[in-house]
Amino acid sequence: MMLRLNDLRQHSDILRLRSGKSLTVRFLEPDDAGALQGYFRALSVRSRYNRFLGAMSELPQTELDHFIHVGEGDRFSVIAVMMIDGIETIVGEARYAFHADTASFEFGLSIDDRWQGQGVGSALLGNLQCRAAALSAKHLFGDTLRSNAAMIGLARKSGYAFIPSPGDWKLVRFEKHIDLAPQEIPCASWKLAAEQMAHQAAV
């Protein structure tokens, strides 16, 4: 069921990078479609290949529609944005899905090449773990190319273990178990969003 919130922007998390800069992680909105497409076009060929596990110059319209329809099919898209020269700029993105039957949280992400190595990936990955905990997930995982040293390094630094990805020898799966009590969930805004979704599902 599609997530229907009056104002998606109220469910944002403001993170602090090690440089002291602020990073906001929020749900994608339909008005973000053009900026998101521009973000993917601006990624290096290698970064796009790593993100989509194959060659792609931009998001096909059908895939772009999937990104901006937050909550449809229990899949969600968020962007990491910063104010640069007075303009809100996308510096990273993630798409994730919650599988209630296995209490698992599957995700993929990318970071603007110009902002890689500056803590954006670690901050976004930590925020995804918070969102997983708010959904009562116990297991996080993602698949990436064996050649994607940046993602493998980020996952390893964040405490993920590695196993072969089922069905594709070119991929490796990174996974992590979490066990956070509700009062330990740090992203209060996403906790509120999760509560609203639970209420919607009950009515």
Quote the pTM value. 0.86
Task: Name the nearest CA neighbour of 28 among 83, 86, 87, 88.
Answer: 88
Q: How far is CA 165 from the centre of its chain?
A: 20
Q: Is residue 70 part of a domain?
A: yes
Q: Dump pLDDT digits (tens) for 147-185.
A: 999 999 999 999 999 999 998 999 999 999 987 665 666
Q: Is residue 2 part of a domain?
A: no
Tell me the mean pLDDT in the region 13-26.
90
Q: Is residue 140 part of a domain?
A: yes
Q: Provide the pLDDT for residue 176.
A: 95
Q: Is residue 165 part of a domain?
A: yes
**23: enclosing H helix or E strand:** strand 22-27
Domain carrying residue 191: 8-202
H-helix segments, 137-187: 149-157
Q: Provide the pLDDT for residue 8.
A: 59
**133: enclosing H helix or E strand:** helix 120-134
Tell me the mean pLDDT in the region 19-42.
93
CATH number of residue 95's parent domain: 3.40.630.30
Task: Name the nearest CA neighbour of 186 among 146, 109, 127.
Answer: 127
Number of domains in the chain: 1
Q: Provide the pLDDT for residue 135.
A: 83
